Structures are given as C-alpha cells and as structure tokens.
Structure 1
C-alpha cells in the first residue's frame, strides 16, 4: 500500500484527534467510513509510535489487517497513548509534545531456515520487520528498530527477549516472518 502525502496527513491528524478524544472521553475517536476515500477504508495493519523529545512514549499495533485502515490507526493511537503497559497514560500537557509515527505493515511472509545462522543470513537490516513465534509466545520489531539495533545477531537476541524467550534460545519450532512497512510521521 502506498499512500500519497494528503492521505498520510489525514491518518496523522486522525491519530492525534484520537489521542485528544481519548484524554477527554476515555475512548478512541469514532470514525464514519463514508467520510474517507477507498484507500483509507481498506483493511490495514498499523503500528502507531509516539515519541516525546526523541524518546519512545508508546507504541501499539496490529500484525494482521483486520480493521479498515482509519479505524486501525485511531484504535492504535489511543492504545499507544493510554494502554501501552510500559508507560503511564499520556497526560493532557504531553499531547502537543508528541511526535506521531504511523507504520503500515505489508503482508508478513514466512522465512524458511534450518538453523539460526541460516535465518541470520536471510534477514535484511533496515528493510525487514520481523515476527518471531514459538508456541504461544510472539514478539515483533518494526524495521525502524534497526536504527537502535543495527547488528543482525543483537536484533534477533532482543526480539527473542521481547517474545519472552532467552536471548540465546533456539528451537526447530521457532517460526519467523518478515514484513516491510510504509512509515511516515
């Protein structure tokens, strides 16, 4: 999915409005799908990342495209501001200070490998977002995480931790999927 500048601006505005609405009402912004062009009401999976003065302040998203894109954005913006368990809820005086980034996820595709080294050889730094799954444990890193973890091995070790596994864990049952994102903010 490739959105034009105007469509990106609409989604960013909706994200901010959803955070403002969430502060006032405790709920995400409601949207009427009839008000938006077809590109913005197709199902889409997004992550909304909030930063304050360059530091992470919240990040929540969906890995599967279930909701219309505009609904996914307003839900995830609200959740990033008020439901990310790593942070206290956003306060009113913080809202104007937030930088909002939206990542629209492409369709995840499985990576086939027989060893951890084979997996590492196939990972594309700064391009791939990864989903790592072992049984019911799952974690993901967006492609933007490469900025802070540029080494493939470190990236994978931290992703295992995020999925609730030890950094040096390995099993033939691990599944890994890659996806790309369209990110703007």
Structure 2
C-alpha cells in the first residue's frame, strides 16, 4: 500500500529515489465517523470531513485544513471537489456529511 501511495496515486507525481531520504512518515488514526447534523458545529481544525453523494465520496483529514488555513466553508468545498462534486454540493439534499477525529503520529521534522 505504501509503495502504491508513493508511486501510483494519480493526484501526485511519483516519488523518486532521490526524494526518499527526505521523506517523513505520518500516520493518522481515524475515529469512526458520525453524521454531521449541524454544519455550524463543524470545526475544520478539529474535525475531519467525509462528503458523500451516491457513489462519490471525498475525505479530508483535519490537518489539511489546518495546514492550508481553511475555514469550514473552504474545507467543505474542497471535500466536495475531492469527491468529484460541485463545491457547493454539501448544501444540497442528498449529500451526506460525516465528521471524525484523527490522531496523527509522525516522524519529527
């Protein structure tokens, strides 16, 4: 799985041998997702988000929003786009929103 993530993820260029010494490993342990009943309670600095409609699904870890400085609206829009949905799909009926906590473990920088 790690090799596939490093070399076959279509969202990123493959990792080269020259880059390997500079890589750091980070692992996120996700709690089970729960339905987001009130979007006003979504805190992207604390919560990961799953946006799902039909067979389309996008997941963003909370550290993504923290690293990019996104607010709730930007994070929801990005999760929709990751799912292949319009950025405002999170507002539409039939779109399911779930949140989860994530504990991140990694190598020091």
How would you bin the TM-score normalised by the shorter chain? 0.7 to 0.9
- Map 1:28-47; keep pairs closer than 5 Å: none
- Map 1:52-91; keep pairs closer than 5 Å: 75=1, 77-91=2-16
Counterpart for residue 182 of structure 1: 103
Q: Is 1:96–2:21 an aligned residue pair?
A: yes
SS of the residue corresponding to residue 157 of structure 1 reads helix
Counterpart for residue 30 of structure 2: 105
Residue by residue over 1:73-128, the C-alpha shift from the partner in whole angstroms, topping out at 9 and shown as x without a partner, is xx2x222211211223222111111122111111111122xxxxx42x02023110
Question: Structure 1 unaligned runs (5+)?
Answer: 1-74, 113-117
Counterpart for residue 165 of structure 1: 85
How many equivalent residue pairs?
104
Alignment TM-score, normalising by the size of structure 1: 0.52
Provide closer, same or farther for how the CA distance between residues 125 and 86 of structure 1 changes in structure 2, counting only shifts above 3 A.
closer
RMSD over aligned Cα atoms: 1.4
- Map 1:109-120; keep pairs closer than 5 Å: 109-112=34-37, 118-119=38-39
Counterpart for residue 154 of structure 1: 74
Considering fraction of residues, name the structure with more helix. 1
Q: Which has the higher contact order (CA 8 A, sep 6+)?
A: 2
The structure that has the greater radius of gyration is 1
Which 4+ residue blocks in structure 1 deviate beyond 3 angstroms? none
Alignment TM-score, normalising by the size of structure 2: 0.85
CA contact (8 A) 1:149 1:155 kept: no
Question: Structure 2 unaligned runs (5+)?
Answer: none
CA contact (8 A) 2:44 2:75 kept: no
SS of the residue corresponding to residue 24 of structure 2 reads strand
Counterpart for residue 123 of structure 1: 42
